Amino acid sequence: MDRLDNTIRPYAWGSTTAIPRLLGTEPTGEPQAEMWMGAHPGAPSRTDRGTLDEVIDADPERELGPDAVAKFGPRLPFLLKLLAAGAPLSLQVHPDLTQAKEGYADEERRNVPVTAPHRNYKDANHKPELVCALTEFDGLCGFRDPLSAAGLLDGLGVDSLKPYVDLLHAHPEEAALREVLTAILTADPEEMARTVTETAAACDRLGGAYAPYADIAHHYPGDPGVIAAMLLNHVRLQPGEALFLGAGVPHAYLDGLGVEIMANSDNVLRCGLTPKHVDVPELLRIVRFEAREPGILRPEAGPDGEEVYQTPIDEFRLSRYVLPESGATHDLTLATPQILLGTAGSLRAGEHELTPGRSVFVPAGEQAHVSGTGTLFRATVVV
C-alpha cells in the first residue's frame, strides 16, 4: 500500500483551524478548506511511486482490479476529502449522468474554454456526494415543503417577501418552488439587495430558526442566495451522521468538519452565495423541484465491525471502523481499490501510521491489515 501525501485547498470559505487541529499541526492563519485524497488531476495525492494518477495510469488493472476497470474505466472513480467549512459554501446542484454528458458535449461543440468562468461542465460525469460529520456539522439540503417555506418567509415581516409567500401558497408544489426560485434569481439586483438587507436584519432580531440565515447573510450581504437558502431544509448533523446529495438536489454546507466522498467530477451549477457565475436557465433545467426531508444517514452494521453508509451509487462506497483497544489485527483486504483514512486514535495500516488525517491507498487485492485503537474510514467502489 502507498502512504498518501495530500494537497490542502485554501478556498476562502475554509476553516483556519479544523484541519490543523485534526492533523495536530499549527494553523497558518490561512483558510484550509479541503484535503483531497485520490487521483483527481486537479490535485492528485503523491506517493513514493509518483502521483496517484500516474501510478494508476501506468497499470490500471493492477492498481484498480479488472472488475473496477471494466465497470468504470482506467481511473479511480471517486475523490475522498476532508472538508472544513468555516463559512457557507455556494448554494449548488449537480447534474445527473445524462445531463452532464449532454452539457459537456454542448459546451465542447461551442468551443467554450474549459477554464472559462462561465463554463458549467468541466467533464462528462455526474457528481453525487456523501458527507459524514466528524464534528457537529450544519448544512442545507433539499427543498422544504412550500407551505413551510412560506411560513418561514412570512414570519420575517418583510413586505418585499410577500410576493414569494403568495406564490408558495398559490401553486402545486413543483410549480411553486420553480416560480419562486426563478423570481428570486431574476429579480432586479438593487431591489433584491435591499430585500436581503431587510431579511438579514429580521433574521438577526428573531434568532432561533432564523439564526442560520442571519449568518449566511453576514457572509454574503445582498446575495439573492440568502433568500433562496430559506427555501431549503436546515440540517445539523452529529458526529457519525451523514447526508447523501443526489443529482438535482440543491444544497450548501455551512459549518463543520466532515469526511466527504464524491464521484470524480467538477460539475457544479450554482444558485447563489457566490461571486462566481450563476447560469439561471441551465440551473433551472437541472434542479429537481420537489420537497424532501434531508434524509440523515446513519451507518449500518456490517461484518467484522464495518459500519456502512448505504447509497445508490456504485462509484463510491464509504464505511467506518471504530476499533476498540483490543490489540487485534483487522484484515481489510478487498478485490477493489481503497483509500483508508484515520480520523481518531492511533492506528497502523501495514507499515504506515494512520494517525488522524493520515491516509493510504491500497491497490486492488493488496493485503490491508489494520491494528491499533481509533476510528478509520474506508473508501472503495461497488463492482
Q: What is the mean pLDDT of each run of 10 residues along the chain (383 residues)?
A: 97 97 96 97 95 98 97 97 97 95 96 92 94 98 96 97 95 93 96 97 96 96 96 97 96 98 93 91 95 93 92 97 86 97 96 96 97 96 97
Is 174 strand, coil or helix? helix
Question: For residue range 240-291, what is the model confidence (pLDDT) as tens digits?
Answer: 999 999 999 999 999 999 999 999 998 999 999 998 889 999 999 999 999 9
Residues 53-64 pLDDT 10s: 999 999 999 999
Predicted local distance difference test score (pLDDT) of residue 36: 97
Distances from the Cα of 82 to the Cαs of 18, 238, 297, 352, 373, in angstroms? 10, 16, 18, 19, 21
**Predicted local distance difference test score (pLDDT) of residue 180:** 97
Query: Could you list the active site residues?
Result: 270
What was the pLDDT predicted at 150? 97
pLDDT at 328: 85
What pLDDT does residue 302 have?
85
Please state the pTM of the whole predicted model: 0.94
Provide the angle, in degrees to the nearest 10, between the axes of the packed helices 146-154 and 162-170: 160
DSSP 3-state of 173: helix
Q: 91 and 269 in contact (C-beta within 8 Å)?
A: no
Q: What is the pLDDT of residue 303?
A: 82
pLDDT of residue 247: 94
Buried b (16+ CB within 10 A) or exposed e, 199-228: bbebbeeeeeebebbbbbbeebeebbbbbb
Decide: helix, strand or coil at residue 325.
coil
**Whether 138 contacts 256, CB under 8 Å:** yes
Residues ≥6 apart with Cβ < 8 Å to 129: 94, 244, 245, 260, 261, 262, 263
